[in-house]
Amino acid sequence: MSTEPLTPADLPAPDSQPVTPIAVTTMDVRPSVSTRLRNVLRARPGASAAGGVVLLVTVIGLVVTATNSSAEVGQWHDPVVAAPPASASAAAPTTGKTISLSATGDIVMGDAPGKLPPNDGRGYFDKVKSLLPADVVMGNLEQPITDETGTGKCPRPVANPTPASPAPGASPSPKNNCHQFRVPPSYAGHLKDAGFNLLNMANNHGKDYGTAGYANTQRSLEKFGLRHTGETNEITIVEVDGVKVAVLGFSSYSGNNSLLNLTSAKKVVSQAAAKADIVVVQVHMGAEGGDKSHVRPGTEFFLGENRGDPMKFARAVIDAGADLIIGHGPHVVRGLEFYKGRLIAYSLGNFAGGGALSSGDRVGWGGVLTVSLNPDGSFASGRFRSTYFSGSYGIPQPDKDERALKLMKQMTEQDFGANGARVSADGSIAAPAT
């Protein structure tokens, strides 16, 4: 859902974001030789056997560097086991084991105090929870989970306002484009019950109720054992069978990893790639509306806000070490593209409306994207299953007509051609033929 346009002071300037002080723990965060070698090989996709000597020298150099260099800094979340490890030993990731990740688009569960679902939201996700299971289940949380903080971003309504007469020749007042949503702290438990274990908070609603509401949301999620990501320089790590998965959230808004500042974006992704085996980028990007399903090169705007250049951003962070891009923000699904063997989902649409997001036509469509990656981050397989919501409370449910899937397949073919994913009628996703 859109907000009122932000002032320049609220928006990070492209490629000029100040460096945020970074918390460092005692954990050794130096990149492993295997991880750094993977980055070297990715940077040399055309390397042949004739280059073996050069690569051998590079490996030796990496060993020396890993031994002598100090740890790179980065805000650090201690790894959390998202699934029981095969053994308690610190052995290398299981050979041949793929890691499954599922993700949804925008989630709104209601709008307190006056618009909350029946039964205080219990069972809100019951119709779609069977679509979510994976080693790591992620969603884009499009609202604070907090009690009232007294710091809502929208002006308080005036009781019995007296309409002002417009000046001669003046246009009517524009529609109010300020929207803020929240649900009580207990609603974090509904996300837990659905099967989510990590929520992205980098979007235009994360601070609807100020920094206090943002902090309250973090605490609400943590109370139910849920992880979160999205703050500037924040790298959230979960661990599955010895494989470390880093998740980072980006947006065009202050306090989040910046979608607009590619220099800082590449730096934090590079740090994540040094700490983990797999790097997932959650990003709130692109113009929004029912007619915004296409992806084109260039910067996108909405209500005067710079919503980033989705194609340029996705390529930049993959070059820096990202393995999977999960986009949201346009409120409609967009196509799927592969770049350097990595999948880019430009938008997964709306997942849950909470009676606050519009359910009309394609803006009420969404789905669950499930992707399996190899321990080195390379793509193994994928599938998309359509959902939709309607009615007063925007409760999500499976869509037997697969409308979102059909739109995603159409946009993939029209926008990306040979670089587009191969999307089958059953939702299976494969990399394009090489």
165-207 per-position pLDDT tens digit: 444 444 344 455 788 889 999 999 999 999 999 999 999 889 9
SS3 label, residue 42: helix
Share of the chain above pLDDT 70, in %: 73
Q: What residues are paired with 383 via a beta bridge?
A: 370, 428
Q: Which stretch, 58-72, 148-162, 388-402, has highest mean pLDDT? A: 388-402
Could you tell me if residue 15 is inside a domain? Answer: no
Q: Is the pTM of this model over 0.85?
A: no
Tally of structural domains, the chain: 2
Q: What is the pLDDT of residues 283-303, one digit of tens each?
A: 999 999 999 999 999 999 998
Token pair for residue 231? 């703050």
Residue 1 belongs to a domain: no
Judgement on whether residues 63 and 150 belong to the same structural domain of the protein: no
Q: What is the CATH number of the domain that holds 102?
A: 3.60.21.10
Are residue 292 and residue 279 in the same domain, yes or no?
A: yes
* Domain membership flag for residue 228: yes
DSSP 359-388: -SGGGGEEEEEEEEE-TTS-EEEEEEEEEE
Examine the domain organization and report whether 256 and 394 are in the same domain. yes
Query: What 8-state DSSP symbol labels residue 332?
Result: S
| pLDDT class of 42 with cuts at 50, 70, 90 | low
Residues of the domain holding 425: 74-154+178-430
Residues 61-91 pLDDT 10s: 433 343 333 333 344 444 444 443 333 323 4
What are 390's strand-pairing partners?
395
CA 229/CA 146 separation, integer angstroms: 17
CB 198 within 8 A of CB 226: yes
Buried b (16+ CB within 10 A) or exposed e, 269-296: bbbbbbbbbbbbbbbbbbbbeeebbebe
pLDDT, residue 56, reads 38
Q: Specify the pLDDT at position 61.
A: 43
25/28 Cα distance (integer angstroms)? 8
How many CA atoms lie less than 13 Å away from 182 in the CB half-sphere? 26
